[in-house]
Amino acid sequence: MIENKKTVCPECGGSNLGSNGKIKNICRDCGKQWRKMHHSQLKEQAFQAQILELLEKKTIPIHRYHGDIVRFGVVSDTHFGSLYEHEDVLHLAYKIFKEEGIDNVYHPGDMCDGEKMYRGQEYEIYAHGADNQVGACCDRYPKFKGIQTYFILGSHDLSFYKQSGVNIGPKITEKRPDLIYIGQEEADVVIRTKRGEIVLRMVHPGGGTAYALSYAPQKYIESLAGGQKPNVLLIGHYHKAEYLPCYRNIFACQVGSIQGQTPYMKRMKLAAHVGFWIFELRVGQDNSVMRFKAEFFAHYESRTIQREIKI
């Protein structure tokens, strides 16, 4: 099992804490004296320091494409560890990506199902704990030579981080170098061609599905300042498939899910749009998207019929 992080100094992050002669509550690494706090407070401060450090080091990856036509695949919300994951759909997706000559795939979050997201979730998962879900993801995720998948962490993935400080993103990449972790909840990627470059953003927002499918994407796009807008926006989390062409000059898409409808979703009357995408776009010389084609491959779950048993 993955162990919780030790109590560390909120100033320098060192773990060599104790007393020095008459002075109590001192860090032997930096010499700072810290006031006595509850273990949970110290842990929270350490997590905040780690987040700030990650933000300072954050860089935007650049993906270079030959020519001015860009093609890539998109899958999302695989939820490994869930009894309702669709490994068959995911393998079909990567088989088609390979046949179509696609090298880069983008995954806007929820690689794993996490834990304690809602009451009764423990009965809907087959892999319990961060180690087991990371193992399930790395063992069951399709692997095709020449294809790399860039992913962010979603709300279910971050349940481990919020409960015990475990970031499963780097752990997945460590075991599977073809699955490349690039951020939590949101990350930008620069797509560069010979003609110009654009920004693709993956986001895994919060909140639930609205009455109108397009409401949540529209509100997110409307909240963006002019200088913060990406050219292409891929939205996970909602398990809905929808394409909004050129809303505030953003090509936005809710990318559906690989996980089927769970009992929780049925109780909440939430549909799951299971499937995956292939996108093709042309980048203009003015760093804009001149043409955008979206193709959705839908999967329809079969009905389970219970046969009558004669006694």
| Nearest one of 131, 129, 134, 165 to 5, comparing CA atoms | 165
Q: Evaluate whether residue 224 is within a structural domain.
A: yes
Categorize the per-residue pLDDT at 4 as very low, low, confident or very high, splitting at 50, 70 and 90.
very low
Residue 8 resides in a domain: no
Cross-strand pairs, 74: 106, 277
> Do 167 and 161 form a contact (C-beta atoms < 8 A)?
yes
Domain limit, last residue, from 6, 36, 57: 57
44 lies in the same domain as 117 = no
Segment among 89-93, 168-172, 301-305 with least mean pLDDT: 301-305
Assess whether 34 and 104 both reside in one domain: no
C-alpha angle 42/45/47, rounded to 5°?
Answer: 110
Task: Give the integer Cα–Cα distance in Å for 199 and 287.
Answer: 9
What mean pLDDT comes out for the span 229-249? 95
List the domain range (segments joined by +) for residue 32: 17-57
CA gap 145, 167 in Å, rounded:
27
Give the bridge partners for 233, in sequence order: 201, 252
Q: Are residues 83 and 166 in the same domain?
A: yes
Q: Are residues 172 and 277 in the same domain?
A: yes
Rounded distance between C-alpha atoms, residue 272 and residue 16, angstroms: 49
- The answer as to whether 257 is a domain residue is yes
Same domain membership, residue 112 and residue 27: no
Most confident of 16-20, 44-48, 71-75, 245-249: 71-75
Q: How many structural domains are present in the chain?
A: 2
Of 64 and 159, the structure prediction assigns the larger pLDDT to 159
Q: Are strands 275-283 and 69-74 parallel, antiparallel or unpaired?
A: antiparallel
Asked if 146 and 246 sit in the same domain, the reply is yes
Domain membership flag for residue 148: yes
In a domain, 3, yes or no: no
Same-domain pairing of 235 and 157:
yes
Four-residue CA torsion sign, 286, 58, 278, 241: negative
CA-closest candidate to residue 282, choices 243, 217, 232: 232
Tell whether 10 is covered by a domain.
no
Query: Does 311 map to a domain?
Result: no
Please count the residues of the chain. 311
Same domain, 169 and 23: no
Let me know whether 205 and 232 are in one domain: yes
- Based on the fold, state whether residues 71 and 46 are members of the same structural domain: no
Q: Do 105 and 71 meet the contact criterion of CB atoms below 8 Å apart?
A: no
Mean pLDDT computed over 112-133: 94
Task: Supply the DSSP string of 171-218, one letter for each residue.
Answer: HHHHH-TTEEEEEESEEEEEEE-SS-EEEEEEE---S---SSTTHHHH
- Digit-coded pLDDT (tens) for 217-238: 999 999 999 888 999 999 999 9
The distance of Cα 88 from the centroid of its chain, to the nearest Å, equals 20
Do 94 and 230 reside in the same domain of the chain?
Answer: yes
Strand order in the sheet with 148-153: 179-184, 148-153, 104-107, 69-74, 275-283, 289-298
Residue 169 domain-assigned (yes or no): yes
Q: Are residues 125 and 183 in the same domain?
A: yes
* pTM greater than 0.75: yes
